[in-house]
Amino acid sequence: MDDADKQAVLRVLNSDFLTQGPEVPEFENALGKRVGAAHCIAMTSATAALHAACLALDVGPGDVVWTSAISFVASANCAVYCGASVDFVDIDSDTGNMSISALAEKLSTAETNGVLPKALIPVHFAGQPLDMKAISKLTRHYNIRIIEDASHALGASYSGEVVGSCRYSDITVFSFHPVKMITTAEGGAATTNDESIATRLAKLRSHGITREPSEIEHYEGDWFYDQVEAGFNYRMTDMFAALGASQLGKLDTFLDARRQVASQYEEALDPGKFHSLRQDPNGSSSWHLFVVLVNDQDDRKVVFDHLRSNGIIVNVHYRPIYRHSFYSKMGKYDPSDFPGAEKYYRAAISLPIFPTLSQDQILTIVKVLDSKPGYQVLF
């Protein structure tokens, strides 16, 4: 946060609008232009945007939605909110992203068994973009709708195509949680090139209400509005949007800093002990996360505890979704069906990464990482 961010919020506090004023559409226009999408709908969170995206594509009871086995639970929960069933696609353990070959195999099996999904939610994990052209080519034959979960990937691109342009998907969802590329304090957005989807998303975020005369059966005048479906209060406030617009103007600076941090980690890490996620040469990551994979002969928990005991706040992103109690109790997910996710989860540790992380701090983190577990490292 800098003074410009704070002044943007103060400007709203001193204006006539705190919630639904001019800042939200201005932020939406700027974000849509940045990613090259025709429409952008800001919401209270990426979770809200994922939920609304499923509803906008008419996901409901009796439908099946697939997403990545490794992601935050919101990537799957959004389908559950709609009454749909969820299944998972395995990942490439070296990249963390959905495996294209696993997707192709699962689609073939699902077609044979007559259980194809209505929608697929691929996740641009850690900020590394997926090959959406390949995914679109696989799913087009089955008329499967695609929602890109780009919560980690604002500013990422693949083969020159900016994540969020929706060239190969129906909808893309972004997150503006404080640890993401930019923040609106809390918030999210959905982009699309389909005007009818955009209209539906806008209604869903505001109680299912419309003021459009052509959508109202008995229109009475300019004061009139009508609830035409069950919607939600998923509206972003002007304060959040003003902060987001200010942050968006610095996105390139943030991305450059994250990429520099990632590069310094790569140079400092001992490849004989740890390796980072493999990056696709056709992609440009936004580096939301920097994940290292512990070698097979080492115990991830021992390394994790060693880092924490030396004041390095590491984490694990993420437990396979099917291992969470809510999903495992359903009794329909066999971990052996997801060898890539299981291998990844045994080895993954997320190191700190943020734009102001210094080279000295990076070297300190790597020094602890390289040291013998159980020993306190003196700095």
Q: Same structural domain for residues 148 and 93?
A: yes
H or E segment to which residue 13 belongs = helix 3-13
Is the residue at 379 inside a domain? no
**Structural domain containing residue 281:** 251-370
User: Identity (one letter) of the amino acid at 21?
Assistant: G
pLDDT of residue 298: 78
Identify the CATH number of the domain in which residue 186 sits: 3.40.640.10
Give the end of a domain, one of 248, 278, 311. 248
Q: Same structural domain for residues 88 and 164?
A: yes
Listed residue (115, 96, 97, 95) closest to 106, CA to CA:
115
pLDDT of residue 65: 98
Give the end of a domain, one of 194, 221, 248. 248
pLDDT of residue 376: 74
Distance CA 198, CA 190 (A): 9
pLDDT of residue 273: 86
Is the residue at 376 inside a domain? no
pLDDT of residue 136: 97
Distance CA 105, CA 93 (A): 17
Domain total of the chain: 2
DSSP 364-377: HHHHHHHSPTTPPP
Q: Same structural domain for residues 272 and 232?
A: no
Do 275 and 293 form a contact (C-beta atoms < 8 A)? yes
Q: Same structural domain for residues 161 and 280?
A: no
Is the residue at 264 inside a domain? yes
Is the residue at 375 inside a domain? no
First to last CA, the chain: 29
pLDDT, averaged per 10 consecutive residues of the chain (379 residues), comes to 96 92 97 98 98 98 98 98 98 98 98 97 98 96 96 97 98 97 97 98 96 85 89 97 98 98 95 91 98 88 95 97 98 97 97 96 95 73
Q: Same structural domain for residues 174 and 152?
A: yes
Listed residue (265, 366, 360) closest to 306, CA to CA:
366
Is the residue at 360 inside a domain? yes
Using DSSP bridges, classify how beta strands 283-284 and 157-158 pair: parallel, antiparallel or unpaired.
antiparallel
Task: Identify each DSSP E strand in the chain by its residue range.
Answer: 39-43, 64-68, 85-89, 119-121, 145-149, 157-158, 161-162, 171-175, 188-192, 209-210, 226-227, 274-276, 283-284, 290-294, 348-351
Distance CA 234, CA 211 (A): 17
**Cα torsion through 160, 163, 168, 171, rounded to 10:** -160
Q: Same structural domain for residues 229 and 256?
A: no
Q: Same structural domain for residues 218 and 363?
A: no
Is the residue at 377 inside a domain? no
Q: Same structural domain for residues 258 and 117?
A: no
Q: Same structural domain for residues 276 and 346?
A: yes
For CA atoms 190, 195, 200, 203, the dihedral sign is positive
pLDDT of residue 296: 76
Q: Same structural domain for residues 231 and 288?
A: no
Cis omega (within 30 of 0) for bond into 318: yes
Q: Same structural domain for residues 244 and 363?
A: no
Give the end of a domain, one of 248, 269, 289. 248
Do 48 and 232 form a contact (C-beta atoms < 8 A)? yes
User: Identity (one letter) of the amino acid at 168?
Assistant: Y
Q: Same structural domain for residues 268 and 136?
A: no
Is the residue at 232 inside a domain? yes
pLDDT of residue 378: 60
Is the residue at 124 inside a domain? yes
Identify the CATH number of the domain in which residue 279 sits: 3.90.1150.10
Q: Where do we find the tokens 């709609």?
A: 82
